[in-house]
Amino acid sequence: MTLTVPWKPNALADLRECLDLMTADGTVPGGVIAHGTFDTEPGYLASGVVAPECGDARPGPGTVYDVASLTKVLATWPLVGTSLMDGFTLDTPIRELLTGIPTEAPGGQVTVRQVLTHTSGLRADTRLDQYRHRAEPLADLICGEPLIADPGAGHRYINRGFILLGLALAHYRCQRLDELATELWQHLGMTSTTYGPVPRSAQVAPTEQRLSGGPRLWGMPHDDNAALLGGVAGHAGVFTTPADLATFATHLLTSHAADGPLGRWLAYSMRPQAEIEPGLDRGLAWILADEGRVAYHHGFTGTSLYLAPATGRYLAICTNAVYHHQDNRTRLAPLRTLALKAITDEP
């Protein structure tokens, strides 16, 4: 039985201080950090405002954020896990999960496992705009592109694979990807999680202003390629709240402790598959740290989710950092570093 481990006394205080500083210096308009263990009610640290367009509305558990690449672990990854119970296999070539993909198509040989581990060898640039006015199905176009590396040869973060995997899941299960995901989220109690677009309101965090003097993206997916797909894709496009991220994390950690289906899928996914850099490995979709004891993932818009099954702890960060800046990796590094330290530290 998993016993939850309490937070180090100053860990949450350090996170709050960092979030406050980032709000004060304009790195983010505001944000929310959800934290807890699978057997306790979630707690929330909040700072700043949702955005200037939203007046004095303060972010909180119910604020809706575009979570960008967290889509990979909120939608595509769990849908693969539930599909494994129905004949879907990790080592099946993508072409066998679709129809009409020629045997000689370079991308058709890529497996589900290689997509999840970012070792597919597919093109690194996503650029679905290059396919405008093409009549062929998108899966055919992606699979027909030359590979940039042999499948399985090494780690390279690639969105195209998750787009392809989303198309394969929809075809294999005979439902649209957003329908499959919504059924999953409703089952888990994530009632505020959805694919975009979503209606504008003071509780929906705007993101980037693409044109000087123009309106910001607000309720529309920030990711251009997800937007080209109508907001529904395997790699991006999901909107959710800090409260729903806490619900998702709690369910995964509870299932892990009880040896439930999604918990077993999480445990299997936390086996290192490819080295990213010394000290960090890629599992199935998740980044693994602390010698494989912590799984996490980031979203480009300014979001993160951290899970530590051994201690039962989780952290979820929700910000709309792209409101001001696109160089989020550097600007969010202090907060993300503190989050990883907080969830790995023993009390």
215-260 tens-digit pLDDT: 899 999 999 999 999 999 999 999 999 999 999 999 999 999 999 9
Residue 1 has pLDDT above 60, yes or no: no
| Chain position carrying tokens 């080295």 | 275
* Domains, the chain, ordered by start: 11-70+178-344 (3.40.710.10), 77-177 (no CATH)
Mean pLDDT taken over the chain: 95
pLDDT in tens, 94-109: 999 999 899 999 999 9
The closest of 302, 301, 281 to 290, measured between CA atoms, is: 281
Q: How far apart are CA 38 and CA 24, in angstroms?
A: 32
Q: Is the pLDDT of residue 125 over 90?
A: yes
Spell out the alpha helix ranges (H) of 26-105. 71, 77-83
Instruction: In whole angstroms, give the CA distance from residue 281 to residue 144.
Output: 29
Full-model pTM: 0.97
| Residue 179, CA distances (Å) to 77, 147, 197, 246, 257 in order | 15, 31, 14, 22, 28
Residue 156, CA atoms < 13 Å, CB-side half-sphere: 18
Per-residue pLDDT band at 327 (split at 50, 70, 90): confident
Question: CA nearest 161: which of 129, 98, 196, 117?
Answer: 117
